[in-house]
Amino acid sequence: MPKLPSYLPMRVPLLDLGEQYRALSEPIREAIHDVLASNRFILGPKVQAFEKAICGYCNAPHAVGVSSGTDALLAILMALGIGPGDAVITTPYTFFATAGCIARVGARPLFADIDPETYNISPSAIRECMEKNCEVDSEGASRTRSGEKVRAIVPVHLFGLCCEMDALHEISERFHLDLIEDAAQAIGSEFPFGETTAKAGTMGEVGFFSFYPSKNLGAAGDAGMIVCRDETLARRLRTFREHGMGPRYFHHVIGGNFRLDEIQAAILGVKLPFLERWAAARRAAADFYCAEFARVGLTGIITPLAAPYRDRGLTNHHVYHQYVIRVPMRDALREHLDKREIETAIYYPLGLHEQKCFAYLGYKKGDFPETERAARETLALPIYPEISREAQRYAVDAIAEFYGSQLANQPKTT
Ligand SMILES: *Cc1c(COP(=O)(O)O)cnc(C)c1O
């Protein structure tokens, strides 16, 4: 019989935002009240202050508050003039919005497979994709076989771990591509870039964050932020954020309403000073999972790489937006954990190249084997800054219980 935990069963949610709010409820209520009393609801002082705070936190020259991570990418692509006749390289193993925005501006998403250890887009897969699908035209631009001009790479720092930005930078320079960082899941994550350590979002031309409530820095609704180096691009982004308007009621480009709400900025401004502490707590929880898997002897579980580039003298700072393991019999394990009231999630069950809405791109099953394998084998366990060690131990015991019974039930193989 597998050993059962010695304490009472408990319910372990994937994410619990309750404690965070209890700790900050007073300053958050005050900040909301300030906005209501000020009658400044759109692009007021709270948005300005929060943009400035993000610049300071990330060491980014410019920050533009927007309505969501999705709208951030949409505005970026519009401001860079990427549209019909263009192609943009990205990963098929990400949240839909990354490729959705590329398609919405009329450009073609060009997928490159992931690295199986980091789950991030693989630089060598991008090089292969360029060699296989693209040719350099007479003007030195890379074009796909169907004639689209390759304009940009959108790497996604998935689950809170930075992509190999040095390699991606090299590729983008070589092929004259813009590097647009999808840092929606990775605010605060770092990478040893050039001479210093840089924060996610600040290593390409432009990057963006999402403040969707469940992200590491969550708003009370939808919100996002763009960071960039170039002042002209920042000005363009501000214009696109407000219907391409400037001065008022004079529109020289077609933008949209991509504004960050004053109330959301006020709430996020209260939370930002705690982000580093929360990231450290997430890292401690990740370390504890590792120690617990070792304690119960679960050596077959592949835990997230914390510093994947250590062999090259590079350290890396994971912020564990998700704690994703790779396991055998994933779906049966998930069912077992569900019975034990331990909530898990699958990010993501289907690669974007296999999504129905992208059928017109002409990809098929088997095109991105590492993405497809990750979609079959990975499972996200509960993680958030305040998660208790008891809850984590309970989850690991339940996983050990599952594999213990599985091994006992399995016919012996030789
Ligand atoms: C959350 C997310 C987005 C979109 O952000 P929203 O604020 O929800 O619009 C984009 N890309 C990735 C990788 C995300 O996780």
Q: Tell me, what CATH number does 308's domain have? A: 3.90.1150.10
**Helices 123-133 & 165-174, crossing angle to 10 degrees?**
20
Mean pLDDT of 366-393: 98
The predicted pLDDT at position 316 comes to: 73
- Atom number, ligand 1, closest to the C-alpha of residue 72: 9
With cut-offs at 50, 70 and 90, classify the pLDDT of residue 413.
very low
Closest of 73, 72, 161 to residue 114, by C-alpha: 161
Q: Are residues 269 and 310 in the same domain?
A: no
pLDDT averaged over every residue in the chain: 94
Q: Which of 98, 114, 154 to mutate to test the pocket of ligand 1 (most atoms within 8 A of CB)?
A: 98
Report whether residue 216 contacts ligand 1, using a CB cutoff of 6 Å: no
In terms of C-beta density within 10 A (0-12 exposed, 13-18 middle, 19 or more buried), how is residue 24 classed? middle
How do residues 89-109 score in pLDDT, each as one tens digit?
Answer: 999 999 999 999 999 999 999
Cβ–ligand 1 distance for 191 under 6 Å, the answer: no
Tell me, yes or no, whether 350 lies in a domain: yes
160 in contact with ligand 1, CB cutoff 6 A: no
Q: Does 369 fall in a domain?
A: yes
Mean pLDDT calculated for residue range 113-123: 97
Say whether both 87 and 195 belong to one domain.
yes
pLDDT in tens, 144-173: 988 999 999 999 999 999 999 999 999 999
Compute the average pLDDT of residues 194-201: 89
| Structural contact between residues 352 and 359, judged by C-beta atoms closer than 8 angstroms | no
Query: Do 206 and 318 reside in the same domain of the chain?
Result: no
Ligand 1 site, residue 68, Cβ cutoff 6 A: yes
Q: Please indicate, yes or no, whether residues 208 and 348 belong to a single structural domain of this protein.
A: no
Specify whether 291 is located in the same domain as 258: no
Ligand 1 atom closest to the Cα of residue 222 is 7
Please work out whether the CB of residue 316 comes within 6 Å of at least one atom of ligand 1: no
| Interval 63-81 mean pLDDT | 98
Q: Out of 273, 293, 315, pick the residue that ends a domain.
A: 273
Task: Look at residue 4 and tell me whether its pLDDT is greater than 90.
Answer: no
Asked if the structure places residue 327 within a domain, the reply is yes
Q: Is the peptide bond before 348 cis (omega within 30 degrees of 0)?
A: yes
Q: Which of 252, 273, 294 is the last residue of a domain?
A: 273
Work out the average pLDDT over 38-60.
98
What is the whole-number distance in angstroms between the Cα of residue 225 and the centre of ligand 1? 11
Cβ of residue 212 lying under 6 Å from some atom of ligand 1: yes
Do residue 203 and residue 352 come from a single domain? no
For residue 70, the CA-to-ligand 1 centroid distance in Å is: 6
Q: Could you give the number of structural domains in the chain? A: 2
- Ligand 1 pocket, residue 207 CB under 6 Å: no
Q: Output the CA angle 256-262-265, nearest 5 degrees.
A: 100
- Whether 9 is covered by a domain: the verdict is no
- The confidence band for 278, taking pLDDT boundaries of 50, 70 and 90, is very high
Ligand 1 site-directed mutation target among 66, 67, 70, 208, most atoms within 8 Å of CB: 70
Q: Are residues 128 and 257 in the same domain?
A: yes
Q: How confident is the model at residue 3 (pLDDT cuts 50, 70, 90)?
A: low
Final residue before a domain boundary, out of 223, 255, 273: 273
Residue 10 forms part of a structural domain: no
Domain shared by 64 and 116, yes or no: yes
- One domain for residues 135 and 176: yes
| 294-350 pLDDT, tens digit each | 999 998 899 998 776 666 666 778 999 999 999 999 999 999 999 999 999 999 999
C-beta 91 within 6 A of ligand 1: no
Q: 164 and 42 in one domain?
A: yes
Residue 325 in domain: yes
pLDDT of residue 414: 39
pLDDT given for residue 410 in this prediction = 56
Residue 414 falls within a domain, yes or no?
no
Its domain, for residue 294, covers 275-408
Which among 210, 217, 268 is the best mutation to test ligand 1's pocket, defined by most ligand atoms within 8 Å of the CB?
210
Q: Could you give the percent of the chain with pLDDT greater than 70?
A: 94
The per-residue pLDDT for 98 is: 98
122, 326, 335 from 113: Cα distances, Å: 6, 17, 29
Q: How far apart are the first and last CA of the chain?
A: 23
Q: Find, among 182, 238, 184, the residue nearest to 212 by Cα.
A: 184
- Is 94 found in the same domain as 185? yes
Q: Where are the beta strands (DSSP E) in 317-392?
A: 323-326, 378-381
Q: Report pLDDT for 405.
A: 75
For the Cβ of 182 lying below 6 angstroms from any atom of ligand 1, the answer is yes
pLDDT bin (cut points 50, 70, 90) of residue 115 is very high
What CATH number does residue 205 fall under?
Answer: 3.40.640.10
Counting from 1 in the atom list of ligand 1, the atom nearest the Cα of 223 is 7
The residue contributing the CA closest to ligand 1 atom 2 is 184
Distance 108 CA to ligand 1 centre (A): 19
